[in-house]
Structures are given as structure tokens and as C-alpha cells.
Structure 1
């Protein structure tokens, strides 16, 4: 069927979508040249492209998607009518019309409401799809025989389906199918929807433009121009090129000007400077021979341009000829900053944050709450209209528009404004929807945002310490704002003058520290103090392949007078990505003076061990709790849930008034950096009060060429704790006296990295240094084990250990070993920022006297690798000195090894410990010390002891028989067996060599023995295990408060304590839930709508109005029913045949 015949046939169709849509979609597929839908099967999960795809919603209701294509779209069909609304007589059954009417008369507010309801239904059905299907990129609302409305969310979150491609062009009329370009768009929706993502074109274009500017920047700097002056010149140039392409300057005027002066480079700078002076004020410019609009803005306060050569003009012409309307502002700033920075230029384009990642935080922080408000405003308008109050209905929408245009969003570490730009675009999209809705009322204008009350860059506030980044941020927001107008209207010349308003919303200053003064620091001799610049490295003289800090790269050191927290401008929403500097690196990176001042300013609020980013987190949380902001969302390192940072989060969650985490991702990939280390982060969104939140977990990652990682998330709802987990509060578990003084980290050598010699030596080198020849050398050259020695191949190293000795004593008794440390370690330690490590250079950085005391008197101790994919435990002989990559438990009983090796402790460790990148970490304080061992009787203890020893002996025996066999390989295969995955040829060899089948049985027996000792079933889900352990921890803590302590090693922990006694402790399978408190019934209509919607979502099942009303104090069921009906009319809730409502 050709498009003309299809249009003619379906334009005359009747108004019954149930009768028509199946045939309509099938014939549409023929017109588009795509396959027709497949027949449905008995297994809905297998139906990837069908009509009437069955889905089961969260409330348990069965619904049908009118047309579904997996990973492409959900389509909801309606059929409106061109006939007038029914008369009163018709409503009474008199003179019934011959033609049936569908949803509503097309073009009316009722029809628009019905189309919006259909969108809500489509989104609800998309949410009900199996997790494996993911969120489709498109929702499509089809009025059969009339139009197609397209909504897209390319982020894969399903949280912000917005009009595609914009509010002006999202509706495709049936007649538009005559246009091949329109048919191609729909064909892509069907077959390759991600190809319609504008990022896929704009990212490549933006990277290419940045490379052109980088080449020009280098040329100008090589000619002797200061880098700052070059940067300012290129910022003005690129904005002018953009202004030309969006028709704010006469077509090709700037590029033609450059061409005309290409052979007269000596006057080109004057012509460019003249144009910029005219752009500042507006008027006629002789260089381009035309009128120039009034741009204004600080960008052109300094119109200077350097002297240019013909080759440099060629580079400018090449850049000007590019398509600047295709730039992606969300990454543009980062790439331009790299292009203009001589140090970062060599890595241009290799390190930036993909837009989808930015949206993953901006949407729950800013967009979702504003869209919820908008939906509440629509529902309030619907209630007013149902009551016949048309003016009041319009007023509800206008009031929300005023609110939207007054919202302020602050990024307190805005960099080059990628978060602010993405936020601005979403606000403009929402504004388009709002103005369209207002325009449906009589006497209202259609969409027009050229001036007056409108969303503008003036609502986007930023603080940035880097002056160049702040300048770029201003330009990015200008470009983003103008680009939105261009893409929406086809040009940007509708804007009122001046084009660039001087909003002064991007501040160049420190966001967390203020001080009365910053004074030069002086050393003890009265000389001006300097410090290493924190980034410049040089080859190590002992090993040129190893980089070490360059002591000659110095910057001035300062001291801060009367330091205090910096103030932030008031804003409803706070969002951003503060800098990542670990607490131990702050002095080296920021300087002693700044670090001390910062910690002093926040000494009662942020622990000194917290990372730099947590100072931003504290200020944002404080602003939300105190009410000056409504919500914040920040990126932190993925160590935010670890002890030193978690304390900041826990303080605010437990404060009065409290903070809650409305959204969190514990571990997420971040910057696109294919050649560098994987940067992983956490996301947290905070709101005031006690509310449940959504915890998103990465379930799949796939590298893409341009857009970073394609990340799939799974979400759970519940109380999100300070360790960024849902369920039992593991982070709140109390440290137990019974486990005290037993677990430690290994020694921190603090020595040169790489192949440079240090404290660790081979057996041969140890003999050269006196082992076996010098009396006492065994004590100062003990055996040494690292994490890789334990889980992979044992290198059989020794370590020089002068613990307890002065430098003089070490030199006198062991001169060869002393000289080795003097030669290789001291130069490295001389650059260390900690005085104790510089001055005690012959000693390990952390020598662990407490561990040495604890291991005395036992023949072996338990060790596990701090950061490891597999959580396994083993024994080490007591004379072995452990590396800092190992965590130690000073118990020699295989009973303890068995409990720690059991599934019950491993599940606990995965929740209680942190992560490094994507590998779990084990922490002595947070993982071991709160863990409650079972109250085992003697028989149970012996059974666990024997099972634990059997696991250990089995592994050691197989490794002794097969020296190349590693524990990592063995446990990889064990994991594959648990996943019921077919083994590869290599894995099959490991299975045989390691007797992994036997080891699996031994672990199963151990798990059963430990479960019996706890008195629990051996088939509990992981979440149930955690809940029971947290409950048992609470009971043990209460027990200890009453004086009953179950010491694990009383002879060491408390020599006067008696033997442990086992108690039969009953643990509830689930913690008790507090009875829900009723909310007061809000006064305003809009607040009632939001409250009712939350109540229905909390019930998580279909509920009648009377049941929903019980969630509130003094709420009449009839009032609640009115609100529920309005929400159903807009598709925000669904009313079933029994009159119950569900989200």
C-alpha cells in the first residue's frame, strides 16, 4: 500500500480504536517498509513484536500494550472524532449520531487530555515490562487515522519521556506520511530508534570541533601569545561561529570575513575586533557590511584579537565552516576546556562525562519533582474544569508556569556547566508543554518564549574555582539556550535584545571555604614557603620507567586567616559533581594551609578523614534539611558509603529534622576514558523528612564508542541507609566488644612503586643483606605476603623490617639492609607530605604494633585480601608479615575460619564492606567488628571447626600438587558452577586440577554447619540473612551493654573473662515495622493531588477511595475520590473495573 492510499483509507475510518488499530498498525508497517507484527504466543516474555502484548502491572492487574516492539517503542492507540461534542439530547439517547465517536472531538481540550492520558498509560505499561526488556526509547500515542505523538527517553531510565524531537514537532499528522523524511523517522522508531538520539551525531561533531580549536590554540601559543588570552579569543570566536549558524548574524558573514582577510592577515585582527565591538553594542559593521544585533554580555567586554597568520586564518575558516548547530553543550564545555589547556590538550576527547550519566542525576534531582508538580497542576486544573471553573483551571496552569520560571538551580562546583545545561534543556522542554496546555484555553497565545516570563539561563547558578572553566560555563549556557531556540523554531532571531543578558549567575570563587584573608606562609627560617604543585612528575633516577613527584615543581604555600564555610546563593535545587580528592591526598594536592583551614572550618561537622567531596555533600544536605533548598543531587566517589565518608551521610540521616535519600546509585561508571583508569562514582539525591527512596544497581555495562558505557539499572524501593543500601541497616550495626582487638590491616610499607627496589626483597637479595649470616637477620627480614601472593602466585618475598629500632641501631646492626633502604626508600619518602613518614623513612609507613602484639602467642592467623572479587579466607603462619592489601584476623582456630568462610559471613561482608571500582572491599571496623558469630554449642563448634579446616586443607593440597593453580582461578570456576554456566576448556582444566567439585561440596557442608549453629534454615535469601544478622547484632550489643560479652579470644581480649557460653537466641525473621502515621489532609488542591498520588503508590495495590482516604487524617472519601478521578483522567493513575485505583 502506498502512502496516498493509506491516508485516504484511514482518514475516513470510524471512531473505535479496538476495532481498527490492529489493521491500522499492520498496514502502516507496509507503508513504512518494516515487518508486520508477529503473532502473539502463550509466553508474553517471548513476544518481542506483537499487537496486544500482555503485561502485569505492579498492582497485579493484567493490561495489554496495543503495539509493542522490544527495545523500540510502546504504542497506545486511541481514536478521536471530527464530529462536534454530543448534544444534551444525544446524551439522553435521542437522535443518536450515525457515526461512532471515539476518545473525544479532535482539537479540543478533552481530546488533548485523552491523548495525555494515553501517554500516561503507555508509560505505565512500559514500567510493567520485564526487567530484561528494559525501558523502550519511545512511547507513541496514536489517534488512529489522525496523528502520531512521539515521546523519547534515550537515557534508558524511563523517567523523562519528552516530546520528540521538540514541543513544536512531536505530533505527526496522518497527511505527513506523504513526506519521505517523516516515513524515515517512523521507520527508525520501528527498527533503530537509538539512531534518532541527537547525541549520536552531536557528540562526534563536538569532539571534531574541539580538535580544530585545539590545533589553533597550540598555533597561537607557539606564536608567543599567552594561553589565557588565546583562550578568551577562541571563546569569542566559537560563539561568533555559533551565532552565525543559528542566524543571529547574517548568513556566512563571519566565515566570509575570515576568507576576505585570509591573504591580508595583518588587518584580519582589526576586522574581527571591530565586529566584536559592534556585537557588544549593536549597529552597522563595515567588516561584514550589514547590521549586527545587540548581543551585549561580558563575553565581548574585551574584543581583543591576536595578530594572525594566513595558516591560522585557515584553521579559523575550517572551524567556522563546521556545523555549529550540531554541538552537544553537555560535553562541549569539557572538550573546549581540554582544547584550551596546554596540559590537558594531548588527551583531548578521551575524558568527558557522557550526557546520559549527567541526566541520570539531573532527572531525579530536578526534573522528576518538577514534573510531579506539573502533573499535580494538570490534575488540579482538571478538577476545576470538571466543576465548570474554566478560568480557575487556567490559573492553576499559569501558577505552575510562574513557579517554573522562578526555580533556581545551583551547581556549587559547576565546571564548564554540563549539569546546568542539561537542567536548562529539561526546564525549557517542560515549559513548552506548560505553554501548550495554557494555549488551549480561549484567548491564549500559542507557544512563544521570546521574552517576558520564561525559563532563562538566569535561573542557573554556578560556583567554580577555575576562572577559565567559569568563563566557558557562561558561554555553554548561552549556546545551549540559543541552540534550544534554534532547534525549536528554526532560528534564534526571535529573541529580544540584548541577546546575551549579563545574568552574573556563574561565580568564580571557592565553594566550600571562605576566610578573612589568605597570607603567604613562611618556613622556620623565615623563607617564603612553597609546596609541590600536586601534579608534576618526573622519572625516578633509580628506574626511569617509574614516575615520582618532581620536587622542583613548586607553587606558593598560604595560610588562611579565620577560615569559615563559604556561603551559597539560595536555590531550590542543588546538583553537580564536586571535585574528587581523597582525604589522604588533600595535603599533597591542595596544600597544608588549605587542608588545615578547611578542616578547621568544618571541624564539628565533617570528620577530618572525609574526602573533599563530602564538604559539598554536607553543605547541600544542611541546606535541604534547613529548608533553604528543596532537594540536592551530587556525584561522589564510590567510596561515599565507606566509613570515613559514611559518617557525614549518617549524621544528616539521623539528625532532627532528618534527611532521606530519595535516589541513590552505589557504584556507577563515570567519565568516558577508554585509555585511562575506570572512574566509578556514587549518586545520591537528598530530600528533607523521612521518605522511602529508590536504590539503583548497575546490572549491565557495555562500552560504546562515543557515549561511554551503556548502563542498565535495576531499582528497589525502600529506606536507603547511609551505606547506600536498602533493607536492614547494616551501616547502623554496632561494633561488638566480643570482636575487639582482633582484626587489622596489614603493614603499609610506603615505598617506591613499580620495579624500583624498596623494603621488599627476593630471597637471594635477602641473603645478600645478611639473612642466614648476620645474627638477628631473621627478625628484620621476615617472610612477606601480599594479596596476590595469597590468591595468585606466591613470590616468596622477604621484607626489611626495622620495627622498634632507631636509624642508628639499624645502621650499626644491619648495615647492608640499612644502606638498601637509604638508597631506594629515602628519596621517595623525602617527598612525602606527612612529617612522620619523611622523618622516619627507615620504618614502614604503618608498622602495626597492635597486630604484632595480637599475633604473639599463636601459631597462625587468618587473612583475606582487602579488595577482591572473591571473599575467601586462609591461614598464614605467625612469622609472616602481611602486606597492607591483606586484612587479618588474629585467631588460629579453624572454627573462626569456618564461620568467616561461610556464606553467611560472605553475604554480610559484601553488604558491610565498600568497593574499589567494581571489586568488594573488606574493612576490619565495618565488616568484622559488628559481625555476630553464632552462639554455637560444643558439638556445633567442632563441626564448623572440622568443616573449615577441611576447606583450607583441600585448597592447600591442590595448590601444592599444582603450583600454577591460583585461588582466583579456583573460585572463578566455583562461581561458574554456582551460576550453572558451562565451563570453558581452560576452566575445565582448573576444575580438574583444583578438584573444584570436591571444594564445592566442602563449602556446602560448611554452610550447613554454620546455619545450624545460628539456628536458621540453610536456604535463606541474602536479604533475609542480612536482616537476621543485623537483628542478632542488636541483641548482642544490648547483651554487652548489660555486661555479657562473648569474647572470641578471651585470653588476648580480656584475660580475666570466662569461657564463652552459647545461648539459644531467637531472631525474628523480619524486623518489626512501625505503624504508619496518617498524613494531615492538605488544604490546597495541588498539595492534595500530590499527597493522594503518594498514598496510592505506597499502598502498592489497587485501592478504593475509602481505603486511600484512611491514609489521611480528616479526609473525606468523596474529596479523595475526586482527586483520584482527576489523576486517572490524565493517565497518572489507573482505575480498574471495580473502581479501585493503582499507580
Structure 2
């Protein structure tokens, strides 16, 4: 078939949709030279007519034609509403595996809508006569093939970024002229909505752009004209701006705030920005960027750790908390309606059978048929009643569910720029649209959309961030309506959105706990602020009010996000919310912050979690956790996979090690190293120069207060010859000053940093480390060496450090000097335990060893526990086997780290310190740089694995266990020991 034949045939066709659609499509296949569904896929698995579920009694599928990975195609009769066809196929796009093209046709026109994920959509229309053009036929072949030839080359985010860049320039210019950042933000929002409104055809004929261009050389006139336009947009009734009718926008955005005076360069910038970008397609999250730019001078949101998030990440909360439960509810309601409609269809069939029998009887025996008429009418009446009742039942089921959806409410109690609410609103409107289409396919009609902006509520502390949330929601709502409802929104275009409240979500002005409204679900991304930074960021008075209001509910050391988790759980317990989904700091899995999750875990209400996800906060990459809790989740999932349980540390192990107790046997052994609180550390060259100085006025050498220093990177990498000044904890200022050179360094470099500190101890005793750890030094006293491990490390290993070393706060120091303790800690059994009880840190999500959770809870073998001096079990064969294996492992590692052929040992400049290990030459120095424990355990050569296997076997034997236990079996047995000893007070 050629183009002329195709055009002639279908121009004259008067076939209805059902009569003509498949033949039209087959003719089009022949015209384009592409395979038909039956030619390519006889089974209809990848390419077919009527793809998807059928309505009761037969009928349309989700799409009239579908080809996997290429298109979904929906037909309507000639001159019918193709927007309705688009709404229908869009509603089912997910079920159709989101093809890149959505096509609608009335057999006169073919309209192609691009549907590529994360792109600005484009539309192509092909009329009948256009098919004479090879380029148009080529376009349709690209659709058949699913080719990315028509894929838009810009994403909404890229378009948004370009537009935001322009507005950043304007924001800077306005602030440079002395305008207050909040006023700038408000004015920018007004301009942005005007650009959106004209591109969405809510302001007609590019009114805003024409105004800007017409006044570009007359800034004073532009100010007057904008003031008048904004005023008209806020007015109700028949309002005109010149000859242009202006709809009633309302909403408070155009609230009479003064238009900021603009200069010619500003107007040119605004004009270009309006003209060069399709603002109807922007991603509303642009407004978060605009707001941050407008407030860049003050960083008001940054002070509270605010941030803005993309849709895909938000859906990890919205889908399990909102979408899946509502979809499951609708599936159940739809099945009930389908069952009722089946009864109606059965009644129709019964009626048809009865009438056909009556007709046959009338032909065969008219008198008998006449005699049976009364009985037949009675039967028909009964059938009609059943049919009507069945249809009413189905209609009522759908009506009740749609009303339930219309009353569904979502709260974000830290809504920021409104991104979470924006995504939630779109999903609710999609669900409603899908439900209405489903009902129509059952033959149930007359249902109108009801879900709107009233579905979402927000709480936001900053006034203009709250306004920003309103703007995001207005534009997001209007984008959905204009794209999927295919009709303009009614007046007022902007509702007031008073439910976006500008207030503190945690405290009332009088310091009492703030109340959250009763809703169906709570979602959000509360501020990221670590417990240790609360006072610096919020101030002492605010923190004290917060602690007082939540005393006994949230530990004082917890991150700020923990307060949102705790309040969310209280809302669920009180019946004021059904489900909650929040993004939290990664530390919600451990320590003080985890305690608010323990209660949720104990109630078996923790239903959804992502333990460790990449995120961005103020431009920095971080790791976060996400949790969902409450009732009505469709399934329990951890990290995207089904899980039987979710523990409060966001693991699914059968043994919940978060319930492990600290053991008295392990008390007073593990410590976090000292925290300097200033530049007390110096290079080795400086330290050796001080060590070589004459005695001080007190007759003492500088060696009294100079020690080698180790931090985490020194253990995972190599020591960089750093030393540290360490005055004794009880050293007075007068005594410290007698050590002239070290004191002079501290006086010059540390004192200026300490003078402005809040804590008296840090400010007044500035020559002493901020956290000198007196308990650690008492426990280490009298030992020639001690065990240390990095708090944060990819691999969990332990090393020996000499007593002359000061361990930094990034190390855990263990006050034992025996090979037995070293061996047990280095074993696989302890590693498995530590990985189950540790926390996780940083972008690399590295395990963080905590003395409290990892060491204090670990049950050592009976008779070899840490409260027993090493000398008491020196003759125990178990201890001897472990100690021998541990010594061998350590000797092998040390020989690999510092091989004799590459190194030379040199005594320090004064006695009392370990020998220096130096490379023999430059080649050796280069080779030694790669010899780190991290690299060694990355490679894990066979000799290392064998040494660990020997140690692991010795440690397992000490417990009386086989050496080949699985990780789960190890955890189960160690946890049982922990619980047994804790119960016995050991």
C-alpha cells in the first residue's frame, strides 16, 4: 500500500473505533513496511493488539496496540477527544512497561508523545496528508522501532539548571544592590510563576514576556507594569490587563509585596530567561535551588542542614508508604466491583436468554407465548432488579474508594521546598486517574477527579521556604492537570494552601511540644544535624527547651532527625497517622539515635528500610538511612528485598544483636583515644629538635610531654612521623609553661582556637587536650604495649602500639597486652560480631567499631574473659594455642609491612621511644608506600588467609565450637552467651 492509497481509503472511512482501529493499524504497517503483530509475534507476548486486562464481558485492554520497548497506541473514533485517549494510555503506562512513545489516533491524525524517563516531553502530529512526506513516515518508523532518534535531548533537571543559573545571576544582582534576601526570594518566585503561567497558557499570548520586552529600556515603567499585573492576578472577577483578560490566581503569591526595582540589564536577563526556556516543563525542584541562591548571603536553610532531593530517591519513601498500600486497596476494591459487575453481566445474559426463548416460543406457539407473558415479565423484572443491584453495588464500591482517596491526607513535617509533597501529590492523582479508568473499563462511568492540593499538608520553620513549598505544589499540581486532565484548572488557579504551616515542627513558642495534625501518612526528609552539633547550630537555649520537651523520649545525644522519628511513632500509636516514612541520618542505626527506633522494632512495626543510601546535603555526598513504620504496608522490605524481620539497626539477621547487653567482664578495657581540640600535633623533625634541647627550667626534658601520635589513617595506611604535645591531665598552666618549646607552640597555635569556645574546661584549660581520657591512661598504666583498632575502616584488624604512643580519637584503645586477647579480637568470630554490632560511616559506608557496642557486648570464651589476668590462664592449652597463632599472624604481617631488605631501624634521638623504621633508599621508600594493612587485606594473599584460618580454628576450639560455623550460626551462639552472662550479672 502506498501513501496515496492509504490516504484515500481512510479519508473516506466512516468506521467507528472498534470497527476500524485494527485495520487502520495493519494498513499503516504495510505503508511503513514494518511487521504486523501477528507477523512478528504470533503469541502476542511482545507485540499485540489489546494489551492488558480485559473488562468484564470482553473489551479494551490497557492499550489498543503495544510493542514492548517501543510504543503503546490508543485509538478513538474520528473527531473524538484524543486527550481522553492520551489520559487513558498514560494511566496505564507503568503497566505497559513505560514504553518510550505513547501514540493516540482518531484515524485522521496520529499524535506521538515522547515518554522517555527524565526528559522534557515532546509531541509530534502526523495528519493524513502528511504521510505523503518521507520524513513523516520515517518519524513513524522510529516510533515502531523504539528508536531514541526522537528522544528529547534535555532533561527537566537540565532545563531547570539552565534557568536557575540565569536566576542566580539576577538574585546576586538584586542582593548586591542591598535588597534583603527574603524579599529577593519572594520576588523571584513571583517572576517564576509568571513564566510558568504563560508557557502553560494560563497567561495568554506570552503576556509576561511581551511586557518585559516592551519595557526593557524603561525600568521604571517595568516596575509599574509588573506591580499592576501582579495586582490583577490577585483580583477576583473579570479583570483585564490592558486588552488581555487575566484569570484569578489568588493563593497569596501576589500579595501586594512591593516589586523590586529593576535595571535594564535585569530586564534583559529576565526577558531572555522567559523566552529561551519552556517553563511549563521545568522540574519544580528548581525552586529549592532558587531559594538557596536567593538566601546565599545568610545561608539560613544551610544552618539547619536542609537539602533538596530528586524524584527517584523520594519514591523510595513514597512508594511503600503511599503508593503500594493504596494500589493494594484499590485492587481489592476493584475485584469486589468486578465481582458485582460479573453478576450484572450474568443478569444481562439471563435476560437475553429469556427473551430469545420467548421469541422462539412466539414463533412456535403464539398462544402459549401469550399465556406465559405475565410470568416472563415478572422474571424479567427480577432479573433487572438483580442487574441494577449488582451495578449499584459496583458503583458504590468504586464511589466509596474514590471518596476514601479524596480524603487521604499526607503530612511532611519538615517540608522545605515541598519536593516530597509534590511527588506524593502526583502519585495520588495518578492512582485516582488509574482507578477512574479502571472503573470505566468495567462499564462504570460518571466519576470525576477529586484529589487536589488539599491532600497535602506541610510544616516548615522558614517563612519563605514555606512559600517555596506552596509554589512547588502549585506548579506541580497545574503541570499534572494540564498534562493528564487536558483541561484548564478552575478559578482560583492557585488555592491558598494554608495547610502549609510556617512554624516549628517540634516546639511551640512557649517551649511545649508542638502538635502535628492527624493525617493518613507522614513522609519527609527532616534536617540533618548530628547530636554533637545541636548546640553550635541551634544555641544553648533552644537545645535546653528541646531536651526538656522530649525528656525521657529522645536521648540528648541523638541526632535532630530522631525527634521526627519519635514524634512520627507517637502519631501512629495515637491513631493520628497510619504509616510514616522518613529519610534519616545513617546513625539512626546505632547509638543514641537508634533508641527511638527500638520502640518501633519492639512493636514489630518497622516495615520498610534502606539501611545505607547515597545522598547529598548542602552539596556534600553523605550516606543516609530510610525507614518506614506503622500499619498497612503491603510487604516488609529491607534494601529493596523481602525480609522476615527488620531489626532496629536495619539488618534482618535472625539474631537481633541490638538487644545484646554490655558485660561486666569487659568493663574498663576499651576506650576511644584522646581528642586534641586543637593543633597539638607536630612533625617528627620538630619533635626531635625539641627532644634534643637542654633541660627546661624545672630540670625536666621535653620528652615528658612529647609522644608519638597515631590516628586511624596511620593504622590503615602508614605512620607519617607525627608527634603530639601531651601535658599530663592534672598539669597546671604554670607547670606546663616550664616546658618552654612545646608550651610556646601550644600558646601560639592552640590558645587562639580555644579562647572563644563555649565549654569552660576547653576554654580555661586550653593547654590540655579537649578529651584527655584519664580513664584510658589509668587502664594503660604499667603496660608496655596495648591493642588498637581504627574506629572506621574497611577491614577490621587490630595492631600493637607501644605505651609511648598517644592514640587519637579515631582509634579504639584496648587495655590488654597479652597475645590471647589480641588473637580473640583478631579472629573471625569477633569480626562477625563487630560487623553485626557496629555502626557505618561516610560515603564509603565503612564499618565503625564502637567500644560500647562491639567490645563490651562480646562474650569471650569461658575462663578466658577480659576480667581475668593473663597470668591466670597462662597454662591453659586453649590460651596457648590462640596466643601462638596470634603471634605468628602478627609477625607475618609486620614482616610484610616492613621487610628487612627495604628498611633499617634507627634509635630515636633520646631513649624511651621505639626505634624509627626508615626506608633504606628512595626505591625502598616508594615500595613501602604501598605496604599498608588496607592494601594487604584488599589482596588477602594465601599466607595471610592461612594464618587467619589457624587463628580462627584455635579461637573456635576455645569455645568448644567447630571452625566452619556460618556467620548466622556464630551470631546466634555468641548472642546466646551474651544473654546468658548478662542475665547472670557477669
Structure 2 length-normalised TM = 0.78
> Compared with structure 1, are the counterparts of its residues 216 and 967 closer, same or farther at alpha carbon in structure 2 (3 Å cutoff)?
closer
Q: Distance in 2 between matches of 1:949 and 1:172?
A: 79
How many residues are paired up? Answer: 850
Which among 496, 502, 509 is matched to residue 502 of structure 1?
496
Q: 1:264-275 residue pairs with structure 2 within 5 A? A: 264-275=218-229
- 1:458-481 C-alpha deviation (Å, 9 max, x unpaired): 221111111121111111111111
SS at match of 1:379: helix
**8 Å Cα contact 2:422/2:472 also seen in 1:** yes
How far 1:916 sits from its partner (Å)? 1.2
SS at match of 2:204: coil
> Compared with structure 1, are the counterparts of its residues 946 and 235 closer, same or farther at alpha carbon in structure 2 (3 Å cutoff)?
same
Q: CA RMSD in A?
A: 4.2
| Residue 745 (1) aligns with residue 746 (2) | no
Q: 1:150-189 residue pairs with structure 2 within 5 A? A: none
**8 Å Cα contact 1:32/1:184 also seen in 2:** no
SS at match of 2:582: strand
> Compared with structure 1, are the counterparts of its residues 933 and 624 closer, same or farther at alpha carbon in structure 2 (3 Å cutoff)?
same
Q: Name 1:459's counterpart in structure 2.
A: 455
Q: Name 2:316's counterpart in structure 1.
A: 360
Gaps of 5+ in 1: 16-22, 38-50, 53-64, 68-74, 81-102, 123-135, 155-159, 517-562, 697-713, 752-756, 979-995, 1046-1143
Q: Distance in 2 between matches of 1:372 and 1:782?
A: 65
| Residue 1037 (1) aligns with residue 982 (2) | yes
Q: 1:94-109 residue pairs with structure 2 within 5 A? A: 108-109=55-56
Q: Distance in 1 between matches of 2:609 and 2:69?
A: 23
Q: Name 2:34's counterpart in structure 1.
A: 31
SS at match of 2:741: helix
**8 Å Cα contact 2:607/2:630 also seen in 1:** yes
Q: Distance in 2 between matches of 1:343 and 1:186?
A: 53
> Compared with structure 1, are the counterparts of its residues 785 and 66 closer, same or farther at alpha carbon in structure 2 (3 Å cutoff)?
farther
Q: Distance in 2 between matches of 1:206 and 1:762?
A: 52
**8 Å Cα contact 2:609/2:626 also seen in 1:** yes
- 1:882-930 C-alpha deviation (Å, 9 max, x unpaired): 1111112212222222222222222222221111112211000011111
| Residue 481 (1) aligns with residue 419 (2) | no
> Compared with structure 1, are the counterparts of its residues 376 and 1000 closer, same or farther at alpha carbon in structure 2 (3 Å cutoff)?
same
Q: Name 1:402's counterpart in structure 2.
A: 403
Which among 621, 626, 629 is matched to residue 678 of structure 1?
621
| Residue 383 (1) aligns with residue 339 (2) | yes
**8 Å Cα contact 2:142/2:150 also seen in 1:** no
**8 Å Cα contact 2:658/2:837 also seen in 1:** yes
- 1:671-697 C-alpha deviation (Å, 9 max, x unpaired): 287xx531221101111499973110x
Q: Name 1:725's counterpart in structure 2.
A: 651
Q: Distance in 1 between matches of 2:884 and 2:72?
A: 63
| Residue 924 (1) aligns with residue 847 (2) | no
**8 Å Cα contact 2:195/2:279 also seen in 1:** no
How far 1:403 sits from its partner (Å)? 1.0
> Compared with structure 1, are the counterparts of its residues 597 and 192 closer, same or farther at alpha carbon in structure 2 (3 Å cutoff)?
farther
- 1:654-709 C-alpha deviation (Å, 9 max, x unpaired): 3xxx2521111111111287xx531221101111499973110xxxxxxxxxxxxx
How far 1:27 sits from its partner (Å)? 10
- 1:8-50 C-alpha deviation (Å, 9 max, x unpaired): 9xxx9xx9xxxxxxx99x999973899x99xxxxxxxxxxxxx
Q: Name 1:998's counterpart in structure 2.
A: 943
Q: Which has the larger radius of gyration?
A: 2
> Compared with structure 1, are the counterparts of its residues 188 and 636 closer, same or farther at alpha carbon in structure 2 (3 Å cutoff)?
farther
Structure 1 length-normalised TM = 0.68
Which among 551, 560, 576 is matched to residue 603 of structure 1?
551
> Compared with structure 1, are the counterparts of its residues 201 and 812 closer, same or farther at alpha carbon in structure 2 (3 Å cutoff)?
closer
Q: 1:563-582 residue pairs with structure 2 within 5 A? A: 563-582=511-530
How far 1:1023 sits from its partner (Å)? 3.4
Q: 1:454-853 residue pairs with structure 2 within 5 A? A: 454-490=450-486, 493=488, 495-516=489-510, 563-654=511-602, 658=603, 660-671=605-616, 676-688=619-631, 693-696=636-639, 715-727=641-653, 728-751=655-678, 757-765=679-687, 767-768=689-690, 773-774=695-696, 775=700, 777-853=702-778
Q: Which of the two has greater helix per residue?
A: 2
How far 1:835 sits from its partner (Å)? 2.5
How far 1:176 sits from its partner (Å)? 8.1
- 1:411-444 C-alpha deviation (Å, 9 max, x unpaired): 1110010101011111111111122223345572
- 1:171-224 C-alpha deviation (Å, 9 max, x unpaired): 78999889687996995797678996x996111111111111121222233334
- 1:625-672 C-alpha deviation (Å, 9 max, x unpaired): 221101111111111112121111113333xxx252111111111128
**8 Å Cα contact 1:781/1:801 also seen in 2:** yes
- 1:555-601 C-alpha deviation (Å, 9 max, x unpaired): xxxxxxxx221111121111111111111111111111111111111
Q: Distance in 2 between matches of 1:628 and 1:305?
A: 42
**8 Å Cα contact 1:671/1:679 also seen in 2:** yes
**8 Å Cα contact 2:284/2:475 also seen in 1:** no
Q: Distance in 2 between matches of 1:275 and 1:185?
A: 44
> Compared with structure 1, are the counterparts of its residues 466 and 298 closer, same or farther at alpha carbon in structure 2 (3 Å cutoff)?
same
**8 Å Cα contact 1:137/1:152 also seen in 2:** no
Q: Distance in 2 between matches of 1:689 and 1:430?
A: 17
How far 1:816 sits from its partner (Å)? 3.0
Q: 1:1112-1127 residue pairs with structure 2 within 5 A? A: none
Q: Distance in 2 between matches of 1:112 and 1:831?
A: 77
Q: Name 1:428's counterpart in structure 2.
A: 429
> Compared with structure 1, are the counterparts of its residues 576 and 328 closer, same or farther at alpha carbon in structure 2 (3 Å cutoff)?
farther
Gaps of 5+ in 2: 10-14, 19-25, 76-84, 113-123, 127-137, 345-389, 865-875, 903-918, 920-924
Q: Distance in 2 between matches of 1:267 and 1:610?
A: 55
SS at match of 2:605: strand
> Compared with structure 1, are the counterparts of its residues 687 and 346 closer, same or farther at alpha carbon in structure 2 (3 Å cutoff)?
closer
> Compared with structure 1, are the counterparts of its residues 442 and 785 closer, same or farther at alpha carbon in structure 2 (3 Å cutoff)?
closer
Q: Distance in 2 between matches of 1:285 and 1:908?
A: 72
SS at match of 2:205: coil
> Compared with structure 1, are the counterparts of its residues 418 and 831 closer, same or farther at alpha carbon in structure 2 (3 Å cutoff)?
same
SS at match of 2:727: coil
> Compared with structure 1, are the counterparts of its residues 28 and 1021 closer, same or farther at alpha carbon in structure 2 (3 Å cutoff)?
farther
SS at match of 1:686: strand
> Compared with structure 1, are the counterparts of its residues 255 and 1014 closer, same or farther at alpha carbon in structure 2 (3 Å cutoff)?
same
**8 Å Cα contact 2:70/2:145 also seen in 1:** no
**8 Å Cα contact 1:411/1:461 also seen in 2:** yes
| Residue 251 (1) aligns with residue 205 (2) | yes
Q: Distance in 1 between matches of 2:322 and 2:953?
A: 49
How far 1:386 sits from its partner (Å)? 3.4
**8 Å Cα contact 1:413/1:464 also seen in 2:** yes
SS at match of 1:942: helix
**8 Å Cα contact 1:465/1:509 also seen in 2:** yes
| Residue 881 (1) aligns with residue 806 (2) | yes
Q: Name 1:92's counterpart in structure 2.
A: none
SS at match of 2:662: coil
Q: Distance in 2 between matches of 1:4 and 1:1023?
A: 73
- Between stretches 811-820 and 308-317, larger displacement belongs to 811-820
Q: Name 2:384's counterpart in structure 1.
A: none
Q: Distance in 1 between matches of 2:797 and 2:269?
A: 59
